[in-house]
Amino acid sequence: MSVKKVVLAYSGGLDTSIIAKWLQETYQCEVVTFTADIGQGEEVEPARAKAAAMGIREIYIDDLREEFVRDFVFPMFRANTIYEGEYLLGTSIARPLIAKRLIEIANETGADAISHGATGKGNDQVRFELGAYALKPGVKVIAPWREWNLNSREALMAYAEQHNIPVDFQKAGKKSPYSMDANLLHISYEGGPLEDPWFEAEEDMWRWSVAPETAPDHPTYVDISYEKGDPVALNGERMSPASILATLNRLGGDNGIGRLDLVENRYVGMKSRGCYETPGGTILLRAHRGIESLTLDREVAHLKDELMPKYAELIYNGYWWSPERRMLQGMIDASQEYVNGVVRMKLYKGNAIVAGRQSDDSLFDARIATFDDDGGAYNQQDAEGFIKLNALRLRIAAGRGR
């Protein structure tokens, strides 16, 4: 495969630094690096110096935090999205944004290929590449982990030393036993001792949250304001999407909220055990359902719940840019026109509890729902015919002994 210029998704760490040099050496091509700040909590600017030290001339470092939350996380949360009943898709939802920016940079720089550091065993290779092909059908994709023979940490370190790649060797030697991925929505942990599904994650593994049993003995309350299904303010103060999520991450983490230990089914076919911290996302999922409970029509709410698993599967498997995901998104967004109001959340020892909700667009009518005298707002005698009509097929079948 002939390649003149390739855009590499570059973190500045050991693996992608080696990939940058390997691409130069193997393909004799020019390398453009792209480093995204999506709220991973680590300084991204040092990646510039590392890339420059390898002779890379075009270096992109982009702050994508607001775009990530506004255009990817919030649309996903309008659907109350969880995968396999538990996973809030923190890694999955970041990949289409990175793929989008890789293609944009390829177009800007005239590159004919992109490259990433995802392994051949994981979901991320699928997500990056499906997104890239959807946005630029003729792009070439180079996935070094599917090509090279550097299949151990020792081989990678030897390659780095041989090619004078700027890596903090002392830090690399003290590497966490876990493979971690972080962004503003979550942090994930895989590998190492977690590969034994019976092994309980050690307390010092968790980075964003305290253990629920050591969380404060008094609850924290936060009011979340919604407009058209998206959170726009906390405790009455309007904030940007990224600021809202970052603040809820802190509040949730302080109260032991958002930990998850999951064995999931990867798209490539294997089961994988991972642990996740998603404090802000856990709060937002509960809060959004809270405001929808007031404002959504029953059948619309139930239809959304039926569609959600398919929508979640599309995101998990990497089909964010597919026509079917866009179609579902249009339906979901249309349902959110009247999802406006305020939800009061009670955060206490690992629990995110809806403590109150109010909306000018509420469909809750206290006059009808009351257990007290409703003044004739609801005629209880109407229920008799309703029940008999719905029981008709059951009565006919029972009469025939079925």
Set out the domains of the chain in order of their start, with CATH numbers: 5-65+89-175 (3.40.50.620), 182-296+335-358 (3.90.1260.10)
- Average the pLDDT over 333-350 and give the result: 98
Helix (H, G, I), strand (E, B) or coil at 231: strand
Structure tokens at 335: 């349902």
Q: What is the pLDDT of residue 173?
A: 46
Residues involved in catalysis: 15, 95, 124, 179
Confidence of residue 175 (pLDDT cuts 50, 70, 90): low
pTM above 0.75, yes or no: yes
What pLDDT digit, counting tens, does each position of 102-153 carry? 999 999 999 999 999 999 989 999 999 999 999 999 999 999 999 998 887 7
Confidence of residue 218 (pLDDT cuts 50, 70, 90): very high
- Average the pLDDT over 351-379 and give the result: 93
Residue 2 · residue 142 · CB < 8 Å? no
CA 235 from chain centre, in angstroms, equals: 24
Q: What is the pLDDT of residue 172?
A: 45
Say which residue, 375 or 347, is predicted with more confidence: 347
Confidence of residue 168 (pLDDT cuts 50, 70, 90): low
DSSP states of 325-347 as a string?
HHHHHHHHHHTTTT--EEEEEEE
Helix (H, G, I), strand (E, B) or coil at 183: coil
Radius of gyration of the chain, Cα coordinates, nearest whole angstrom: 25
Is the predicted pLDDT of residue 171 greater than 60, yes or no? Answer: no
Q: Which amino acid is at 211?
A: A
How far is the C-alpha of 123 from the C-alpha of 95, rounded, in Å?
10
Q: What is the pLDDT of residue 43?
A: 85
Handedness of CA 300, 252, 200, 152 (dihedral sign): positive
How far is the C-alpha of 253 from the C-alpha of 54, rounded, in Å?
39
What pLDDT digit, counting tens, does each position of 25-66 carry? 999 999 999 999 999 988 898 899 989 988 999 999 999 999
Is the predicted pLDDT of residue 169 greater than 70, yes or no? Answer: no
Q: What is the pLDDT of residue 399?
A: 96
H/E stretch holding 305:
helix 298-317
What pLDDT digit, counting tens, does each position of 63-99 carry? 999 999 999 999 999 999 999 999 999 999 999 999 9
Question: Mean pLDDT, the chain, as a whole number?
Answer: 94
How far is the C-alpha of 335 from the C-alpha of 295, rounded, in Å?
10
Lowest mean pLDDT among 12-16, 184-188, 316-320: 12-16
